[in-house]
Amino acid sequence: MSFESSAASRRKAYRAEKEQNRKVFKHVKIDDSTVEVDKLELPKKRYYRQRAHSNPFSDHQLEYPVSPDLMDWSKLYPHYYDKDTKQMTKDVTIADIGCGFGGLLVDLATAFPDKLALGMEIRVQVTNYVEDRILALRGKHLETQGYQNISVLRGNAMKFLPNFFKKGQLEKMFFCFPDPHFKQRKHKARIITNTLLSDYAYVLREGGIIYTITDVLDLHEWMVKHLEMHPLFERMDQKWESEDKCVEIMTHSTEEGKKVERKKGDKHIACFRRLPNPQIV
């Protein structure tokens, strides 16, 4: 057996084991009564190979609710589901769009223990990795019930964001190191456009914040330009950014951000506040 085929076999076996764990633990409340919780080891990234980018306009055979009222959040946050009332005790208020391997989500879990944060990721294996990572962290922090407040789903925020979130539900949205789509004909696939910003303004409450960070200056200028042009957003100043806890977390927690640091690259940050809707006279 060649080295390549042997590695592929190991990767397949590893993924099969993790998939079985997800079937058992994914939608259940992990607590002291959960059996075999010791199986939940932190995943190894090398077994979750995936292309760096995915075409958001392709048919990805995604599952999404017809409306936010039909979204079953109990499967993602079973710790916050009240079986007596059959209602969630909290709503998701933080969204990490294109969450990658979940570095930001993990840090947000401890920084905001009273908030529910959701990562949305379109790539299959990357989503699986984040799911396995969160389940393992929940299993390792049973005493404190840590990491119950974060979850991830495979979704396309460019198409279906209003299917998941109600009007004004979110208070923070993160866009960390998004695909720059360098070619001009690909700019329509960038995650920040005039049309998409109206969707983001719909799900973001008044006073909520959009956080952006990238190492690509052209993309940074593109995002700033479109956000400044939109009537429902205004840019926060550098003093605010230097004092905001989320900016600090976003700057250092993501895998892409750490890669930029190792290469001694620049990180370009811009944050925008959701303005009140204008009065119709």
> Model confidence over 171-230: pLDDT tens digits?
999 999 999 988 888 888 899 999 999 999 999 999 999 999 999 999 999 999 999 999
119-171 residue pLDDT tens: 999 998 999 999 999 999 998 998 888 999 999 999 999 999 999 999 999 99
Q: What is the mean pLDDT of residues 245-273?
A: 94
Q: What is the mean pLDDT of residues 106-124?
A: 96
CA 213 → CA 39, 60, 97, distances in Å? 36, 26, 12
176 DSSP β-pair partners: 213
The whole-angstrom separation of Cα 281 and Cα 81 is 42
Angle at 95 between CA 158 and CA 208, to 5 degrees: 100
Q: What is the DSSP letter of 267?
A: -
Mean pLDDT over all residues of the chain? 89
Radius of gyration of the chain, Cα coordinates, nearest whole angstrom? 19
Give helix 157-164 / helix 194-203 axis angle, nearest 10°: 20
**3-274 carries CATH number 3.40.50.150:** yes
Cite the annotated binding site for S-adenosyl-L-methionine by residue number: 98, 121-122, 156-157, 176, 254-256
Q: What pLDDT sits at residue 34? A: 58
Cβ atoms of 272 and 236 closer than 8 Å: yes
The whole-angstrom separation of Cα 189 and Cα 50 is 19
Q: What is the DSSP letter of 100?
A: T
Phi, then psi, of 78 in degrees rounded to 5: -60, -25
Cβ atoms of 225 and 270 closer than 8 Å: no
What is the residue extent of each domain of the chain? 3-274
Query: Distance between terminal CA atoms of the chain?
Result: 75
> For the ranges 97-106, 181-190, 229-238, 242-251, which has the lowest average pLDDT?
181-190
Cβ atoms of 274 and 230 closer than 8 Å: no
Catalytic residue IDs: 179
8-34 residue pLDDT tens: 777 777 777 777 777 777 667 776 555
Q: Residue written as tokens 């919780």?
A: 37
Q: What is the pTM of this model?
A: 0.88
Q: Which residue has the higher pLDDT, 9 or 56?
A: 9
Q: What is the DSSP letter of 247?
A: H
Percent of the chain with pLDDT over 90: 66
Cite the annotated binding site by residue number: 98, 121-122, 156-157, 176, 254-256
Q: Which residue has the higher pLDDT, 78 or 52?
A: 78
Of the pLDDT bands very low, low, confident and very high (cuts 50, 70, 90), residue 3 is low
Show the tokens assigned to 55. Answer: 């075409």
